[in-house]
Structure 1
Amino acid sequence: MTVSTLLAEATRHQQHSGQRPLPTWYEVFHSRATLREALTNAAVAGGVPRAWVDHVRERGERAVTWNPDLYLRTPEPRDWEQILTGLDTDVQRLREWTALSTAYGKFGAATQSGIGSDLDRNVRALRARTAGVANLLGLTSDQGQQLWGSEQDWVDAGVSMLDSIPVEGSAQRWRQVARTDIDAYALQATALAEAGITIGTAAALVSAEALGPGIGAALTAPQPLFQSATPTGDEIETAIDAANPTFRADAEIALPTFSDAADTDPWSGDLAPTDIAAEPPVWQAAEL
């Protein structure tokens, strides 16, 4: 049911009953309006001229059903560089996310539990939308290879994105991908599918069935950034030797010697009063 059909239905309902549409009508209307906007965004990403999108939407609002024999407005020039750059960005991200998902299943699922389903869902949504846009553009297998290389090139690119990333970095990236809000892409993929565009596969893209296993076979286990937080005894001794290269455990420690100045008699320790008369206290001086 189109948005225009829903609006006409609401108008008839209000004219006959004098009441606003039921809450279910608003839910359906919001869903269809959101899906229409998603289809518009996906169509523009797939190279459909904005002038054509607007023309078809206007016809739909007048309840004119789609007819391929009807004329369309003269389109504006399409920015192919922008269109292909946008698709290329998603392809690069799809390679990385597929590699991350494969690495998670192979190395991280046991220690990073709770994110696997979200990670897989986001990868599937990204692939579906990317495949739908590629199919909307009509890209062939040969054109896909010209843009992104062979199946082995895809595998190599995915693996290289994870090279030199330690365990800690991989865990962080898994969580980031799992938490990425990709609902807009998922909705665009659904809209493309409802419009008759294939989203499961694309001739220009390497299939998930080939890419995942290929990356999995080439991946090596990531290493921790810090091997151990507790040093061993040998490591401590090595560090001490490096910091004190002249220290020997059997060396005699020489005690410092002190001597009095030549013109000074050494203190004998005798605490008796000296011959020097002390000044009388203040109260005695007063009596004198």
Structure 2
Amino acid sequence: MEKRLDYITDLMALGPTANARTIQRRQTAHRLAIAEAWQVKPGEKILEIGCGQGDLSAVLADQVGSSGHVTGIDIASPDYGAPLTLGQAWNHLLAGPLGDRLTVHFNTNLSDDLGPIADQHFDRVVLAHSLWYFASANALALLFKNMAAVCDHVDVAEWSMQPTALDQIGHLQAAMIQGLLYAIAPSDVANIRTLITPDTLAQIAHDNTWTYTAGTIVEDPTLDDAHWEIATTNALLTELKLSTDLRDRVKPLLEAMSHNGTASLATFTGRITF
């Protein structure tokens, strides 16, 4: 496993900071654990929605082998992201040894229509750490309805809102504050928008006569995501056009969040079957 982890990590485009490879290695290890929880098999044809800079895409491409293929979809443009843009990260990945197993489409919202994948069928559709970016549970349900035309099921992975350790509370509070701020003042600068939980997924499935099956929990408190979300939450207070009164009300929550640990929450996995 360690050898495979290092191999995939070394295929990724790295940022300019001295610890970029260490951070990437942790992210890759987490995606390997998610792929294991999903039981990804060689030869599969996979559609990944919300592929970002390709962290999971690279892991999946390695897992499916030379007979499989991974198609990444992202609503963002290729010039989005920092310190590396999505386009830069994907150009690096596509130029590597996994490139012939990968395809990516930017500026693509499959909630609108199936666009570039309309005539394809996949062994599985996956979303990892992208459920919270949807504007509402209804928007996610609409995507799932479209996915039923190209696949029999969707595998998901997202942060769990049930902390298993006290030093994960900061990550939880950051997510909850961001979700609350988006509900009060919806904005394009928002990162987290709707806190989708297993209960939400079960309700979506029930409403559409589908089935939701809970999977395993993936624990990795060493990830950097809690740090990033806490920093993002603090930045939102200056970026959003909030009233002075509301800012004053939120500030104590931010102070508590910053003192409640920086360990990342566990990740739940599950499957919607159509």
TM-score range with shorter-chain normalisation? under 0.3
Higher helix share: 1
TM-score by length of 2: 0.24
Greater CA radius of gyration, 1 or 2?
Answer: 1
TM-score by length of 1: 0.24
